């Protein structure tokens, strides 16, 4: 019985230490990242007859604290992702999204990652600490209903013609050949 109590004490101590240091989110994200490497979780293309029109009438705040309209991305394929630093699945897919961004940054694809953190500085510090170079934004106006989701991460792909051609709620491995082709085709 003493051995069992000691083992549980160690386990609870580790969990407590991770929680109180704030590392539990990153550890959980790392464990979920391992699942993503299997490639089993992939985004799905929405059939043309089921594609909704995207809405562009909302405002964002960029990392330089400048307000800008989402309309500035019109005419490009848009990778629109909602995430937060407190969300383990969001953290799990970030390295893969960054790899995708690096491969697609010279294409007609806009990466718009909208932080759901109440403190935008926390999101900016996270990006700097991790060395991610894709742009992040904060929402500063109401979000159109077409992008409503009750959970994060949620990702939409919007075609240059303004149609939502892919949507995924939950973490996914995005840096795949088929997904890169989807972004390049934009349809």
Burial of residue 166 (number of CB atoms within 10 Å: 0-12, 13-18, 19+): buried
pLDDT in tens, 39-94: 655 556 555 567 788 999 999 999 999 999 999 999 999 999 999 999 888 998 99
- Its CATH architecture, for the domain 2-185, is 3-Layer(aba) Sandwich (3.40)
3-class state of residue 119 by DSSP: coil
Assess whether pLDDT exceeds 60 at residue 27. no
Better pLDDT: 169 or 112: 112
Do 159 and 166 form a contact (C-beta atoms < 8 A)?
no
pTM: 0.78
Q: In this predicted structure, what is the pLDDT of residue 92?
A: 87
Nearest 5°: the CA angle 70, 73, 79 is: 95
């Amino acid at each position: 019985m003493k051995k069992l109590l000691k083992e549980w004490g160690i386990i609870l101590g580790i969990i407590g230490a991770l929680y109180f240091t704030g590392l539990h989110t990153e550890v959980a994200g790392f464990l979920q990242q391992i699942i993503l490497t299997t490639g089993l979780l992939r985004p799905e293309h929405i059939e043309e007859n089921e594609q909704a029109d995207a809405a562009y009438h909302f405002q964002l705040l960029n990392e330089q604290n400048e307000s800008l309209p989402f309309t500035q991305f019109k005419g490009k394929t848009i990778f629109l992702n909602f995430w937060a630093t407190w969300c383990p699945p969001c953290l799990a897919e970030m390295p893969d999204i960054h790899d995708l961004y690096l491969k697609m940054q010279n294409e007609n694809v806009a990466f718009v990652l909208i932080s759901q953190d109440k403190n935008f500085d926390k999101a900016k510090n996270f990006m700097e600490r991790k060395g991610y170079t894709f742009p992040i934004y904060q929402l500063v106006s109401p979000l159109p209903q077409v992008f409503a989701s009750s959970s994060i991460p949620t990702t939409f792909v919007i075609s240059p013609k303004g149609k939502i051609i892919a949507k995924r709620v939950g973490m996914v491995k995005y840096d795949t050949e088929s997904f890169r082709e989807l972004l390049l085709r934009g349809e």
